C-alpha cells in the first residue's frame, strides 16, 4: 500500500478513485503521565509520555485508515492528512484521512 501526502505518486498513474478513507482514535491521558508532565512544564523539556501517546495514536489511526482502503480494493492512499482535536478534558482524538485509489505503473 502506497501512502503519500501528495496528490500523485511519481511513476504511478491513478486508474480508479475508491473514495475517502479515514481512521481515528481517541486516547485519554494516564494520571502518571499527567503528574510527570506537570513537573516538565515547570522545568522544561520533552514530555516523553505524551510523545509516546501521539506516536501510538498516529499508528492506530493510520492502520484503521489503511484497513478501510484495503476493504475498498485500493492499493494506495493519496493526499493523506492528520488532524488532532480535544474531545474533553484529558482526552484527544487523532484523525487520519485521505483518498483511496488504485494506481498502476506508468508505461
Write out pLDDT tens, residues 10-43.
999 999 999 999 999 998 766 555 555 555 555 6
91, 27 in Cβ contact below 8 A?
A: yes
2-105 sits in which CATH class? Answer: alpha beta
Q: State the average pLDDT for the chain.
A: 86
Residue 95 reports pLDDT greater than 70? yes
Q: Report pLDDT digits (tens) over 34-77.
A: 555 555 555 667 767 777 888 888 999 999 999 999 999 999 99
The helix, strand and coil proportions of the chain, stated in percent and rounded to the nearest 5, come to 35, 45, 20
Domain spans of the chain?
Answer: 2-105
pLDDT over threshold 80, residue 94: yes
The model's pTM: 0.83
Amino acid at each position: 500500500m502506497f501512502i503519500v501526502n501528495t496528490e500523485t505518486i511519481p511513476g504511478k498513474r491513478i486508474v480508479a478513485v475508491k473514495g475517502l478513507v479515514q481512521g481515528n482514535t481517541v486516547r485519554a491521558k494516564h494520571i502518571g503521565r499527567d503528574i510527570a508532565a506537570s513537573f516538565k512544564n515547570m522545568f522544561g523539556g520533552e514530555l516523553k509520555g505524551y510523545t509516546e501517546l501521539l506516536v501510538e495514536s498516529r499508528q492506530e489511526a493510520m492502520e484503521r485508515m489503511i484497513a478501510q482502503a484495503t476493504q475498498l480494493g485500493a492499493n494506495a492512499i493519496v493526499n493523506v492528512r492528520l488532524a488532532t482535536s480535544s474531545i474533553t478534558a484529558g482526552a484527544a482524538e487523532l484523525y487520519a484521512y485521505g483518498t483511496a485509489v488504485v494506481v498502476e505503473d506508468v508505461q
